[in-house]
Chain A
Amino acid sequence: MAWRNLGRNRLRTALAALGIVIGVVAICSLGMATVALEQQATAQLGDLTNEVTVSSGADSDTDGVTGEQVEEMRAIVTDARVIPQKTNATTLEARNGMEARMSVTGVTDASALYDLTEGEAPERLQSGALISNATADRLGLESGDPVEYDGRIYRIRGFIESEHSFGFGGGDLVIPVSGLADQRHYDTVTIIAADGDAAGRIGDRLDTRFNTEEDEELRVTTFGNRAQVGGFLDTLSLALLGIGGISLVVASVAILNVMLMSTVERRGEIGVLRAVGIRRGEVLRMILTEATLLGALGGLVGALVSLATGMVLFHVITGDATGALGWASSRYLAYGFGFAVAASVLSGVYPAWKAANESPVEALRG
């Protein structure tokens, strides 16, 4: 019955439903966009935010991080890996005569810092070298080829994936720390914590231990932790959802208008219904059902359009369209649909109440 009433003025119904569709699409796709952004940001920043980097401070008189300091760090930081590194620079000459200037990193715990294109980096790098994929390509170096640094020969054991992170723990050539024995102190110490929050806490602990207000013994660097990134994204998603919400409010005003017009138009008809003994509650139910159907219809179409939009968004932002189907983003479809139905019912209430409570004589008069 309600369904057929909606069918009577198809254009008007379609336009009202379109309003809802736009509202739902706005809410859903903005919501899903923030989820996609959040996933992408987490993926990109994740490697960074859980690292603490320590180097010698402005007031240090050792020009590096000493072995004792590293031991102290290991004592303080029991829940994360402490990886001291020595760095230098060198020029490598290839058999084909090409030369390349590059950084050299001496580190023992190579597996914590580097991902190899093939196999795993050794947990304790005692002999041999790792070289970045890009450099190896440029110089035509292959696995097992020798490279020379500071008069010693190292055989290449693996190739480092070019983009480990944003370059920290970087180094084109990685050799055992013993190869840089003439440097007394470590240049940097990287501490890899479980997550950004833990990294922040470790950074604070080290800062308190080694530094005072006037005396910076060690420079402790942490990166904007994930909580801060999350906080920003929460604000962003709230703002975007607000915009979506406004468009849904506009849509529900359109429904209110449509329902009001349609009840005014059908005044006489509703009078007849009341005259032949249809109860007030039944008239109310009929008109509310119409509004609900309108909302459900618009919501459903809106959700489908949003799903398609969401998949496009995910494809563009994270490169994985199926991410849109995950609950984190698909719940916005449920929200949007729920909002649409709720808004429609709400805007149907007044017209329904008005139609149901009109005196039948007045209504019949038209």
Chain B
Amino acid sequence: MSVVELRGVGKRYESGAEIIDALKGVDFSAERGEMVTITGPSGSGKSTMLNLIGLLDEPTEGTVSLRGRNVTDFGEDERTEERRSALGFVFQDFHLLPMLTAVENVELPSMWDTSVDRHDRAVDLLRRVGLGDRLTHTPDELSGGQKQRVAIARSLVNEPEVLLADEPTGNLDQDTGGTILDEITRLKNEEDLAVIAITHDEQLVEYADRVVRLVDGVTRT
């Protein structure tokens, strides 16, 4: 069963008199254990698609399913709970909080939740991405590649089933990007994740099990 599924999904933006169809009738699905990259030129609707899969945005038509449940009409609080339990995010700009240490950044998603203690999981994840000796460093003491590893560890701390990555290698050089992608691939297998990444980067495409091309809001495989 697909862990993520889009059926006939469209997204229309209205700004003033202008109407933009960012996505038109997109069908898409992803299984656990596979890495799918979504590529396409700027403005093709990649980010919109990732936001819809990530429950950050709502489609104007079609249905979005996560773990076999139709989540299209979920309210903001329900979608937050889904993001918290099932989804992990990695961003191009890392988006680490500057005043927190590496391990605190990883614990961030559950920091307010007193019912669980993710500290051991956070330390374990940082060790697994090779930052066992950087636990108490703050982001400005880490290199770009190290920051992205922290961000990856953060995305996995709540044991999600889907990892969503928005240009994860976009701010890294070729070599660092390669090791990050190795890391993601390894974790994908260890944690049985569905990885969905959007990118311009040809290198990332090489790591993908499957590539989806988006042009003008329509998928082409």
Q: Pick the residue among A268, A279, A285 that contacts B80 (CB under 8 A).
A: A279
A321 CB to closest chain B CB, in angstroms? Answer: 42
Interface residues of A (CB under 8 A from B): 1, 4-5, 7-8, 268-269, 272-280, 282, 285-286, 359-361, 364
Chain B residues whose CB sits within 8 angstroms of the CB of A360 once the complex forms: 56
Q: Are A277 and B100 in contact (CB under 8 A)?
A: no
How many residues of chain B are within 8 Å of chain A by beta carbon? 27
Q: Are B99 and A272 in contact (CB under 8 A)?
A: no
* Nearest A residue to B84, CB-CB: A277
Q: Are A1 and B95 in contact (CB under 8 A)?
A: no
B98 at interface by CB-CB < 8 Å: yes
Q: Are A364 and B99 in contact (CB under 8 A)?
A: no
Q: Are B109 and A277 in contact (CB under 8 A)?
A: yes
Q: Are A4 and B83 in contact (CB under 8 A)?
A: no
Q: Are A269 and B51 in contact (CB under 8 A)?
A: no
Chain A residues whose CB sits within 8 angstroms of the CB of B54 once the complex forms: 275
Q: Are A277 and B51 in contact (CB under 8 A)?
A: no
Q: Are B56 and A275 in contact (CB under 8 A)?
A: yes
What 12 new A-B contacts, CB under 8 Å, besides A272-B91, A276-B89?
A268-B95, A274-B56, A276-B84, A276-B155, A277-B109, A278-B80, A278-B84, A278-B112, A279-B77, A280-B76, A280-B80, A282-B112
A9 CB to closest chain B CB, in angstroms? Answer: 10
A109–B99 Cα distance when bound, in Å, is 79
6 sampled A-B residue pairs with Cβ under 8 A: A7-B99, A269-B97, A275-B54, A275-B83, A277-B81, A278-B109
Chain A residues whose CB sits within 8 angstroms of the CB of B108 once the complex forms: 273, 276, 278
Chain B residues whose CB sits within 8 angstroms of the CB of A361 once the complex forms: 51, 56-57
In the complex, which residues 161-179 of chain B have their Cβ closer than 8 Å to any Cβ of chain A? none
A272–B77 Cα distance when bound, in Å, is 16
* Nearest A residue to B158, CB-CB: A277
B142 at interface by CB-CB < 8 Å: no
> Which of A7, A274, A277: most chain B CB closer than 10 A?
A277
Interface of chain B, helix or strand or loop or mixed?
Answer: mixed
Q: Pick the residue among B83, B95, B97, B99 that contacts A277 (CB under 8 A).
A: B83
B59 CB to closest chain A CB, in angstroms? Answer: 13
In the complex, which residues 25-69 of chain B have their Cβ closer than 8 Å to any Cβ of chain A? 51, 54, 56-57
Interface of chain A, helix or strand or loop or mixed?
Answer: helix
In the complex, which residues 97-144 of chain B have their Cβ closer than 8 Å to any Cβ of chain A? 97-100, 108-109, 111-112
Q: Are B99 and A4 in contact (CB under 8 A)?
A: yes
Q: Are B98 and A8 in contact (CB under 8 A)?
A: yes
A263 CB to closest chain B CB, in angstroms? Answer: 14
Known A275-B54, A275-B89, A276-B108; judge A5-B80 contact (CB<8 A). no
B185 at interface by CB-CB < 8 Å: no
A164 CB to closest chain B CB, in angstroms? Answer: 68
A366 CB to closest chain B CB, in angstroms? Answer: 9
Known A272-B95, A276-B155, A364-B56; judge A285-B83 contact (CB<8 A). no
A279–B110 Cα distance when bound, in Å, is 10
Q: Are A269 and B95 in contact (CB under 8 A)?
A: yes
Chain B residues whose CB sits within 8 angstroms of the CB of A359 once the complex forms: 56-57
A277–B84 Cα distance when bound, in Å, is 4
Q: Are B80 and A1 in contact (CB under 8 A)?
A: no
B154 at interface by CB-CB < 8 Å: yes
* Nearest A residue to B110, CB-CB: A277
Q: Are A285 and B95 in contact (CB under 8 A)?
A: no
Chain A residues whose CB sits within 8 angstroms of the CB of B98 once the complex forms: 8
The 6 closest A-B pairs by CB, nearest first: A277-B84, A4-B99, A282-B112, A272-B95, A276-B109, A277-B83
* Nearest B residue to A283, CB-CB: B112
Q: Are A280 and B109 in contact (CB under 8 A)?
A: no
* Nearest B residue to A276, CB-CB: B109
* Nearest A residue to B93, CB-CB: A268
Q: Pick the residue among A4, A5, A285, A364 that contacts B112 (CB under 8 A).
A: A285
A103 CB to closest chain B CB, in angstroms? Answer: 79
A282–B51 Cα distance when bound, in Å, is 22
A5–B108 Cα distance when bound, in Å, is 14
A359–B84 Cα distance when bound, in Å, is 16
Chain A residues whose CB sits within 8 angstroms of the CB of B83 once the complex forms: 275-277
